[in-house]
Amino acid sequence: MAEESKALNKKGNLGAVRIADEVVSIIAGLAATEVNGIEGMSGGLVGGIAEMLGKKNFAKGVKVEVGEKEAAVDLYIIVKYGVRIPDVALSVQENVKQAIETMTGLSVIEVNVHVQGVGFPQEEKEEEEARVR
């Protein structure tokens, strides 16, 4: 309890503010999808099940580690066909870092981008589906 009191006193008389990992994940996911060239986020089985149940998962494809003052982010993205992947990845890193730091005050120490796939234009998908039938 004595250690906790010291921490509270350092942070001010009103107490401490702790931002949940899920909040940082949502900010990162939304900031990533704002970038031109991103088709979507790559979620695992859990994300897919949540979407089938009608729940929009804004943290899909995002893994964060949040400390008291810092955050590290891993993003699993799907890029649009035809874009220059290194440019898109850099834009994602910059946008996510800026969004998290602006909204939370946390210092983002790293934003790792994992390209998991390439999305094709909707017209081509529809043509492929028609050929399969």
Kindly report the pTM of this predicted structure. 0.75
Judged on CB neighbours under 10 Å (0-12, 13-18, 19+), 90 is middle
39 belongs to a structural domain: yes
105 belongs to a structural domain: yes
- Specify the higher pLDDT residue, 9 or 70: 70
2 belongs to a structural domain: no
User: In total, how many domains does the chain have?
Assistant: 1
13 belongs to a structural domain: no
> Does pLDDT of 6 surpass 60?
no
Q: Are 73 and 110 in contact (CB under 8 A)?
A: yes
42 belongs to a structural domain: yes
Residues 6+ apart with CB under 8 A from 98: 31
Separation between Cα atoms, residue 95 and residue 73, nearest integer Å: 12
5 belongs to a structural domain: no
pLDDT band per the 50, 70, 90 thresholds, residue 131: low
Instruction: State the CATH number of the domain containing residue 124.
Output: 3.30.70.1350
**Average per-residue pLDDT for the chain:** 82
Which residues form the domain of 68? 19-132
Report H helices in the chain: 2-11, 21-33, 45-52, 85-104, 122-132
96 belongs to a structural domain: yes
